[in-house]
């Protein structure tokens, strides 16, 4: 994959280092030639110039890029580069760094931004994810603000413990994409049983986040499709309804 990164500061260089380790083709664009020597990036290609100038992006052959990352410390630059990448060069994927949270609303498809990375917001989400067990935490906004990646850590007294993924009627616009258990990722199937401490990761529309939050809240009743019965020892059993799946 060819990735063009605009801005070779600490953020841009860190992104480039990770992508080079995964053997992607990297081109960095920066105004300052001195950053090349001190970056320590081996295998990266460089272009010294103003990425807000169309001629610089033409020299970079931006039309051949799979992804353009605007990672400078200037929100105006990141917006302009994203817009030019989309409108002038037809780049399929753009990622824009948001430096000032007040500018977050501008980083959408009207400015050519596919994914906005708001560093303060992301750090806040990671802090919340570390301490907020039993609450839905948004980790990342996707698709120009329409969808998001969210995480939920199952409390050890949650009503969903013991239910299978197929037992729960998830919101229509929320998809469980991964379960992290004992630091090991699991690709969820309808037969996987949810356990306390599981980290559930969903891709959901932002509009459906509240519905998902309400479903997973401690006050949420067990889904009506799955009545609770008691066995001869008085233990409660969740009885899954026939949901149309075989097996």
Of 117, 144, 170, the residue at which a domain comes to its end is 117
Find out whether 140 and 129 touch, Cβ atoms under 8 Å: no
Q: Which residue has the tokens 């850590």?
A: 153
Alpha-carbon span 163 to 222, nearest angstrom: 10
Distances (CA, A) of 46 to 20, 30, 72, 79, 207: 13, 8, 15, 21, 41
Report whether 136 contacts 150 (CB < 8 A): yes
Range of the domain at 61: 2-117
Assess if residue 23 is contained within a domain. yes
Does 15 reside within a domain?
Answer: yes
Contact 13, 43 (CB under 8 A): no
Instruction: Compute the distance between CA of residue 58 and CA of residue 243 in angstroms, rounded to an integer.
Output: 55
pTM: 0.60
Each residue's pLDDT expressed in tens, for the chain with a length of 247 residues: 999 999 998 889 988 988 998 899 999 999 999 888 887 888 999 999 999 999 999 999 999 999 999 999 999 999 999 999 999 999 999 999 999 888 988 998 899 999 888 766 665 555 555 555 667 787 777 755 678 888 888 888 888 999 999 999 999 999 999 999 988 889 999 999 999 889 899 999 988 888 988 888 776 554 444 444 444 444 445 444 444 444 3
Domain count across the chain: 2
Q: What is the pLDDT of residue 157?
A: 85
């Amino acid at each position: 994959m060819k990735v063009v990164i605009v801005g070779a500061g600490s953020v841009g260089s860190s992104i480039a280092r990770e992508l080079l380790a995964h053997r992607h083709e990297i081109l960095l664009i920066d105004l300052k030639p001195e950053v090349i020597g001190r970056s320590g990036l081996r295998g990266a290609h460089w272009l010294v110039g103003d990425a807000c100038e169309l001629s610089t992006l033409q020299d970079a052959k931006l039309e051949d890029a799979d992804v353009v990352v605007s990672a400078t410390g200037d929100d105006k630059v990141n917006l302009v580069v994203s817009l030019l990448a989309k409108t002038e060069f037809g780049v399929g994927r753009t990622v824009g760094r948001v430096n000032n949270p007040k500018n977050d609303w501008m980083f959408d498809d009207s400015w050519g931004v596919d994914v906005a990375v708001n560093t303060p917001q992301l750090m806040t989400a990671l802090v919340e994810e570390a301490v907020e067990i039993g609450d839905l935490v948004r980790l990342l906004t996707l698709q120009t603000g329409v969808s998001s990646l969210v995480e939920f850590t199952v409390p050890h007294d949650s009503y969903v413990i013991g239910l299978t993924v197929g037992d729960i009627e998830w919101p229509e616009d929320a998809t469980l994409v991964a379960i992290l258990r004992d630091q090991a990722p699991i690709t969820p199937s309808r037969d996987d049983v949810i356990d306390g401490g599981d980290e559930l990761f969903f891709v959901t529309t932002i509009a459906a986040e509240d519905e998902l939050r309400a479903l997973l809240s401690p006050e949420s009743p067990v889904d009506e499709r799955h009545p609770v019965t008691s066995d001869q020892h008085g233990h409660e059993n969740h009885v899954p309804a026939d949901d149309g799946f075989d097996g």
